[in-house]
Amino acid sequence: MYTQALNERIDGPRVVEDPEKLAAFQARIDAEEKIEPNDWMPEAYRRTLVRQISQHAHSEVVGMLPEGNWLTRAPTLKRKAALLAKIQDEGGHGLYLYAAAETLGVSREELYEQLLSGKAKYSSIFNYPTLTWADIGCIGWLVDGAAIMNQIPLCRTSYGPYARAMIRICKEESFHQRQGYEIMLALCRGTPEQKAMAQDALNRWWWPALMMFGPPDSESVHTEQSMRWKIKRFTNDELRQKFVDATVPQAHYLGLTIPDPELRYDEATGHWRYGPIDWDEFKRVIAGFGPCNRERLAARRKAHEEGRWVREAAIAHAEKRRMRERAQRLAAE
């Protein structure tokens, strides 16, 4: 998902935890108690959360770029206003999440620096280009649809600030998915050329959307521990299957074909079975060699650098005003 790159080792010194505290912590988790910022927690729990929440935040922020590409070329004023509002939401989601991560004792500046230096990862999905307007429809329908699938269980995650941020985010994501599907509907009910454009976008986004859920359970290093700590509630493969089951009928309603010759309905289980996923492509994109990785990071760095003087000026102005007010107060005394 937005945190699919979790499949790497966590760095940092090994910490030997007090077994008694560890047991008490696990008992709280098992009793469905929420863990709050100043509560005792194992160092590995804290590190996992910082990494997961910050990857999630980075994904929201980088996710604004592929959609921003179509802002000035949206087909109508209505579509443009909706897209603008959606992109603003993504920025807001990034901010909720950075704030949640900061409760674990890291600063937003530090986390952002990790993104800009390429040390931190973000979702592979945002390294694909948005070539046509139909891509904006596919992002809302599939990418936000996959995000919702992953994020609804995260509303019950064990860390309080993260769970609360996810509740806000989920409320807002549902508009994103609906606006995307509506774009697809309009194209599919349009001219043959428009429908072909919708099919082309689905062909390009389907497999990357399935990869959003991360590596298969058999290769997922952290799933088991994250499930025990209730940071994660479902495995990657469980969520991926839920997504496929929900999405295939939606594609059929549009009259579109899922680009998977092996896709078939399994009567016995009621699930749609899909063909093999190209995990080499996934690894390439995560490692930095997707179609747009460089462009995305370059755009973020440029925005951050060009905004630097504004941040510095704002801090200097606030400081100057504080000094002036203090001088006036002293003069009045």
Partner 1 sequence: MAEQPMPLWEVFVRARTGLAHRHVGSVHAPDAEMALQAARDTYTRRGEAISIWVVPSSAITASDPADKDSLFEPTASKIYRHPSFYEIPEEVGHM
Interacting span for partner 1 (CB under 8 A) from 5-13, 38-46, 115-123, 144-152: 38-46
**Contact range with partner 1 by CB under 8 A, out of 9-17, 236-244, 269-277, 308-316:** 308-316
Amino acid letter at 34?
K
Q: How far apart are CA 16 and CA 317, in angstroms?
A: 47
Residues 121-160: x/- map of binding to partner 1 (CB under 8 A)? ----------------------------------------
The Cα angle at residue 91 between residues 221 and 52, in degrees rounded to 5: 15
State which of residues 31, 32, 38, 276 lies at the interface with partner 1 (CB under 8 A): 38
CB distance 201 to 134 below 8 Å:
yes
Burial 173-195 (b: 16+ CB within 10 A, else e): beebbebbbebbbbbbeeeeeeb
Given candidates 311, 324, 326, 327, which one binds partner 1 under the rule CB under 8 A? 311
Ramachandran assignment for 79, one of left (phi > 0), alpha (psi -120 to 50 degrees), beta (any other): alpha
Counting residues that bind partner 1 (by CB under 8 A) gives 26
102 binds partner 1 (CB under 8 A): yes
Per rule CB under 8 A, is residue 36 in the interface with partner 1?
A: yes
Identify the residue whose tokens are 């931190």: 120
Note whether 308 binds partner 1 by CB under 8 A: yes
> At its nearest, how many Å lie between partner 1 and the CB of residue 167?
11
Exactly one of 23, 196, 315, 327 binds partner 1 (CB under 8 A); that residue is 315
CA pair distance 265, 329, nearest whole angstrom: 76
Please identify which residue in 78, 264, 321, 326 interacts with partner 1, judged by CB under 8 A. 321
Strand partners, 272: 265
Using alpha carbons, select from 81, 6, 18 the residue that is nearest to residue 47.
Answer: 6
Binds partner 1 by CB under 8 A, chosen from 1, 4, 64, 89:
89
Interface ranges with partner 1 (CB under 8 A) = 36, 38-40, 85, 88-89, 92, 95-96, 99, 102, 107-109, 164-165, 172, 308, 311-312, 314-315, 317-318, 321
